[in-house]
Amino acid sequence: MIDTFFTNFASMHIILTIILIAITFFIFSYVSSNNIIEEEINGHTIDPDSPEYKLYLEYLKDVNNRIVLNTDNYDKNILTLSTFLLGLSLIFIKDIIGENDPLFIEYIHASWEYLLTSILVVIISFVIGTKDNEISVKNFFMEAVLKKSEYSDKISIYNKILKYLSYLSGVFLFLGMLYLYLFVKANL
């Protein structure tokens, strides 16, 4: 009974991947990189020696450091683990199973697709994270330098998308590991 559940769920990986690819195309078409600060300061005079502008430049430096740290930590770990597991699964098939026909081959196919999808989600999060940081810098600039209070606690939609992409990459990584485990267990 449990094998039937996992086999049926493994066949759904194609549907999940197609949905994720559609979302990916939507996100890439919606997100375009441009200099959003320049669009907002047209018509405003900025004093480069003002304390607000200097604070803005410090904030900009902090946001750029945050981008580097985020990329170097979470995403690097997801990518490393996903690619390691992909390689491990290939070694397992070649060296341990050998010439025998593996049982539950759909499990390894599901594992590969989930791990590759996890990698794809992390790559998408790079683009979204950059856009979120651009919006964050713009909002800080509008509040601190141009004194527009409506930008004080604004959170961009990219921030929300980024949060869900982080969860999604973890879910796909877990599913990839689960199906790799089930495949190895069934064939040992």
Domain count, the chain: 1
DSSP 50: S
In a domain? residue 157: yes
In a domain? residue 116: yes
Nearest C-alpha neighbor of 140 from the set 159, 153, 129: 153
1: helix, strand or coil: coil
Q: Give the per-residue SS3 of 156-168.
A: CHHHHHHHHHHHH
pLDDT for the residue 62: 84
pTM: 0.64
In a domain? residue 89: yes
How confident is the prediction for the chain on average, in pLDDT?
75
pLDDT for the residue 4: 67
Mean pLDDT of the region 8-27: 65
Structural domain harbouring 160: 49-187
Q: How many helices (H) and strands (E) does the chain have?
A: 7, 0
Q: What is the pLDDT of residues 50-91, one digit of tens each?
A: 888 788 778 877 877 776 676 667 667 777 877 787 787 777
Please give the residue that has the higher pLDDT: either 115 or 20. Answer: 115
DSSP 96: I
Nearest C-alpha neighbor of 113 from the set 177, 26, 165: 177
With 70 as the cut, is the pLDDT of residue 9 above it?
no
Mean pLDDT of the region 102-119: 84
Q: What is the pLDDT of residues 129-170, one digit of tens each?
A: 878 888 888 888 888 777 777 776 777 888 888 888 888 888
Residue 61: partners with Cβ closer than 8 Å, 6 or more residues away: none
With 70 as the cut, is the pLDDT of residue 5 above it?
no
In a domain? residue 12: no
Write phi, then psi, for 99 (nearest 5 degrees).
Answer: -85, -10
Write phi, then psi, for 12 (nearest 5 degrees).
Answer: -80, -15
Q: Are 149 and 91 in contact (CB under 8 A)?
A: no
In a domain? residue 123: yes
Strands (E), 5-71: none
